[in-house]
Amino acid sequence: MVSQMVDVQQVWSWLEAVPDPEIPAVSVVDLGIVRDVNWQGKELVVTVTPTYSGCPATTVIGRDIVAALRSHGLNDVRLETRLSPPWSSEWVSAKGREQLRQFGIASGPAPVCPRCGAAQTERLSQFGSTPCKALYRCQSCREPFDYFKPF
Protein backbone atom coordinates (compact mmCIF):
# COMPACT_ATOMS: atom_id res chain seq x y z
CA MET A 1 0.00 0.00 0.00
CA VAL A 2 1.10 3.50 -0.78
CA SER A 3 0.09 5.61 2.16
CA GLN A 4 0.63 8.97 0.54
CA MET A 5 -0.74 10.36 -2.65
CA VAL A 6 1.76 10.06 -5.43
CA ASP A 7 2.44 13.17 -7.47
CA VAL A 8 0.48 13.10 -10.75
CA GLN A 9 3.67 13.88 -12.71
CA GLN A 10 5.06 10.63 -11.35
CA VAL A 11 1.92 8.81 -12.47
CA TRP A 12 2.24 10.30 -15.97
CA SER A 13 5.81 9.02 -16.23
CA TRP A 14 4.68 5.54 -15.18
CA LEU A 15 1.95 5.64 -17.82
CA GLU A 16 4.53 6.63 -20.44
CA ALA A 17 5.92 3.14 -19.98
CA VAL A 18 2.59 1.45 -20.78
CA PRO A 19 2.75 0.29 -24.41
CA ASP A 20 -0.21 0.31 -26.77
CA PRO A 21 -1.20 -3.37 -27.19
CA GLU A 22 -1.32 -3.17 -30.99
CA ILE A 23 1.57 -0.75 -31.56
CA PRO A 24 3.86 -1.64 -28.64
CA ALA A 25 6.56 0.75 -29.88
CA VAL A 26 4.46 3.67 -28.64
CA SER A 27 2.99 4.33 -25.20
CA VAL A 28 -0.67 5.02 -24.50
CA VAL A 29 0.41 8.51 -23.38
CA ASP A 30 2.27 9.29 -26.61
CA LEU A 31 -0.71 8.10 -28.65
CA GLY A 32 -2.82 10.71 -26.88
CA ILE A 33 -5.15 8.13 -25.33
CA VAL A 34 -4.55 9.17 -21.70
CA ARG A 35 -6.16 12.60 -21.31
CA ASP A 36 -6.08 13.31 -17.62
CA VAL A 37 -4.73 12.05 -14.31
CA ASN A 38 -5.98 13.43 -11.02
CA TRP A 39 -6.72 12.51 -7.46
CA GLN A 40 -10.32 12.55 -6.27
CA GLY A 41 -10.02 11.98 -2.57
CA LYS A 42 -8.08 8.77 -2.10
CA GLU A 43 -8.92 7.57 -5.56
CA LEU A 44 -6.74 8.15 -8.61
CA VAL A 45 -8.85 8.86 -11.69
CA VAL A 46 -7.30 8.20 -15.10
CA THR A 47 -9.29 9.58 -18.00
CA VAL A 48 -8.88 7.91 -21.38
CA THR A 49 -10.27 8.72 -24.80
CA PRO A 50 -10.60 5.70 -27.11
CA THR A 51 -9.17 6.08 -30.62
CA TYR A 52 -11.76 4.38 -32.85
CA SER A 53 -15.13 3.03 -31.76
CA GLY A 54 -14.17 -0.29 -33.26
CA CYS A 55 -10.75 -0.47 -31.68
CA PRO A 56 -10.60 -3.90 -30.02
CA ALA A 57 -7.62 -2.73 -27.94
CA THR A 58 -9.63 -0.28 -25.84
CA THR A 59 -10.50 -2.78 -23.12
CA VAL A 60 -6.96 -4.11 -23.00
CA ILE A 61 -5.55 -0.58 -22.70
CA GLY A 62 -7.70 0.06 -19.63
CA ARG A 63 -6.63 -3.20 -18.07
CA ASP A 64 -2.94 -2.50 -18.80
CA ILE A 65 -3.15 0.95 -17.22
CA VAL A 66 -4.71 -0.39 -14.03
CA ALA A 67 -2.18 -3.24 -13.85
CA ALA A 68 0.78 -0.89 -14.37
CA LEU A 69 -0.34 1.48 -11.63
CA ARG A 70 -1.00 -1.41 -9.29
CA SER A 71 2.58 -2.60 -9.83
CA HIS A 72 3.64 0.81 -8.51
CA GLY A 73 1.48 0.35 -5.43
CA LEU A 74 -1.59 2.28 -6.54
CA ASN A 75 -4.62 0.11 -5.89
CA ASP A 76 -7.39 2.65 -5.85
CA VAL A 77 -7.54 3.52 -9.54
CA ARG A 78 -10.67 4.36 -11.47
CA LEU A 79 -10.78 4.59 -15.25
CA GLU A 80 -13.02 7.13 -16.85
CA THR A 81 -13.85 7.22 -20.53
CA ARG A 82 -14.19 10.61 -22.16
CA LEU A 83 -15.71 10.67 -25.62
CA SER A 84 -15.75 14.40 -26.20
CA PRO A 85 -13.78 15.87 -27.84
CA PRO A 86 -13.21 12.78 -29.98
CA TRP A 87 -9.68 11.42 -30.22
CA SER A 88 -7.57 12.97 -32.97
CA SER A 89 -4.39 11.72 -34.60
CA GLU A 90 -3.03 15.22 -33.93
CA TRP A 91 -2.80 14.20 -30.28
CA VAL A 92 0.06 11.79 -31.05
CA SER A 93 3.20 13.37 -29.60
CA ALA A 94 6.32 14.20 -31.63
CA LYS A 95 8.10 11.42 -29.78
CA GLY A 96 5.26 9.06 -30.64
CA ARG A 97 5.45 9.99 -34.32
CA GLU A 98 9.17 9.25 -34.40
CA GLN A 99 8.60 5.92 -32.64
CA LEU A 100 5.89 5.06 -35.17
CA ARG A 101 8.30 5.83 -38.03
CA GLN A 102 11.01 3.63 -36.56
CA PHE A 103 8.39 0.90 -36.15
CA GLY A 104 7.64 1.20 -39.89
CA ILE A 105 4.41 3.21 -39.63
CA ALA A 106 4.03 6.56 -41.35
CA SER A 107 1.96 9.31 -39.72
CA GLY A 108 1.24 13.01 -40.09
CA PRO A 109 -0.57 14.91 -42.85
CA ALA A 110 0.93 12.92 -45.76
CA PRO A 111 2.19 9.33 -46.05
CA VAL A 112 5.97 9.46 -46.42
CA CYS A 113 7.76 6.11 -46.72
CA PRO A 114 9.04 5.22 -43.22
CA ARG A 115 11.90 3.21 -44.73
CA CYS A 116 13.45 5.36 -47.44
CA GLY A 117 11.73 8.69 -46.84
CA ALA A 118 10.26 8.95 -50.35
CA ALA A 119 7.15 11.10 -50.64
CA GLN A 120 5.88 9.28 -53.74
CA THR A 121 3.52 6.65 -52.37
CA GLU A 122 0.28 5.00 -53.43
CA ARG A 123 -2.71 3.87 -51.39
CA LEU A 124 -3.44 0.16 -51.51
CA SER A 125 -6.32 0.16 -49.06
CA GLN A 126 -8.06 2.79 -46.97
CA PHE A 127 -8.20 0.31 -44.10
CA GLY A 128 -5.10 -1.56 -42.98
CA SER A 129 -4.44 -4.07 -40.24
CA THR A 130 -6.34 -1.97 -37.68
CA PRO A 131 -9.00 0.76 -38.02
CA CYS A 132 -6.45 3.52 -37.34
CA LYS A 133 -4.18 2.55 -40.23
CA ALA A 134 -4.35 2.56 -44.03
CA LEU A 135 -2.16 0.44 -46.28
CA TYR A 136 0.28 2.22 -48.63
CA ARG A 137 3.14 1.29 -50.91
CA CYS A 138 6.30 3.28 -51.55
CA GLN A 139 6.81 3.97 -55.26
CA SER A 140 10.54 4.32 -54.72
CA CYS A 141 11.55 1.26 -52.66
CA ARG A 142 8.30 -0.62 -53.48
CA GLU A 143 7.80 -1.70 -49.86
CA PRO A 144 4.25 -1.67 -48.48
CA PHE A 145 3.74 0.15 -45.19
CA ASP A 146 1.04 1.17 -42.72
CA TYR A 147 -0.06 4.78 -42.51
CA PHE A 148 -1.53 6.07 -39.28
CA LYS A 149 -4.46 7.95 -40.84
CA PRO A 150 -5.11 11.62 -40.10
CA PHE A 151 -8.28 11.40 -38.05
Residue 41 class from Cβ within 10 Å (0-12 exposed, 13-18 middle, 19+ buried)? exposed
Do 44 and 76 touch, CB atoms closer than 8 A?
yes
The bridge status of strand 43-48 relative to strand 34-40 is antiparallel
Minimal CA–CA distance to 55: which of 38, 37, 78, 31?
A: 31
Q: Which does 135 bind (CB under 5 to 8 A by kind): another protein, Zn ion, none?
A: another protein
Check binding of 149 to Zn ion (CB under 5 A): no
Nearer to another protein, 73 or 86 (CB): 86
| Site residues (vs another protein, CB under 8 A) | 50, 52-56, 83-87, 124-131, 135, 149, 151
38 binds, options Zn ion, another protein, none, Cβ within 5 to 8 A by partner type = none
Residue numbers of the site for Zn ion (CB under 5 A)?
A: 113, 115-116, 118, 138, 140-141
